[in-house]
Amino acid sequence: MKLVQNESPQAKKAFGLLYERNKGSVMATLRYWNAPQNQVEELMHDVFIKAYQNRMSYDSTRPLKAWVLTIAKNLVLDTHRKKKEILEKNGDEQPGGSIPDERLDAESALIEKSNQDSVFSCIQNLNSTQKEVLQLRIEGELSYDEISEETGLSLSAVKSTLHRAKLALIECLKGKDLK
């Protein structure tokens, strides 16, 4: 995607197309990494701004979508890190809960939050390779071959890592009381 890396009007069109094709995957990635609900849309736009600003660092031998999703993941992790630093400065130990969807009643919102927390907790128990492969497969919608290219793992390693991650999630979620 050399076109994405230059300043031409075609590059701006290419970024518009990149945005349209990947905004759903970026939103899903942000939610997957537990982005604050009230910041998801803003973070999504920040992802594409950051991608445009850093387009010269894009390695065109790698899938463009995976690069954009990695930016999304890193933005969410930075947001969590900053929130944690603010809470630590204020002496709070736990972050406040997320704002529930107005269409849900309080009980439904609590159940949904509890289920999300359980799944997120189980995902956090995975090792970093399993998290990355799972995220690229589910949220990034990448094929096994694309994941192999992105991570540098062999095709068989990608398949076995994904399988082990799924088994670990299933095992972890068995012990949780999901509603």
- The pair of three-digit structure tokens given for residue 94, joined into one six-digit string: 């736990």
pTM beyond 0.75, yes or no: no
CATH 1.10.1740.10 boundaries in the chain: 1-99
Using the CB atoms, write b or e for 74-109: b if 16+ within 10 Å.
ebbeebeeeeeeeeeeeeeeeeeebeeeeeeeeeeb
Least confident residue range of 74-78, 98-102, 113-117, 136-140: 98-102
CA distance 126 to 37: 23
What would the pLDDT profile of 31-57 be if each residue is shown by its tens digit? 888 888 888 889 988 998 898 888 888
Length of the chain in terms of residues written: 179
Q: What CATH architecture applies to the domain 103-179?
A: Orthogonal Bundle (1.10)
Question: Sorting pLDDT into bands at 50, 70 and 90, what band is 118?
Answer: confident
The answer as to CATH 1.10.1740.10 being correct for domain 1-99 is yes
List, by residue range, all CATH 1.10.10.10 domains of the chain: 103-179
- Which of 69, 77, 76, 55 shows the shortest CA–CA distance to 146? 69
Amino acid type, 39? Q
Structure confidence at residue 91 (pLDDT): 60
Enter the DSSP assignment of 99: P
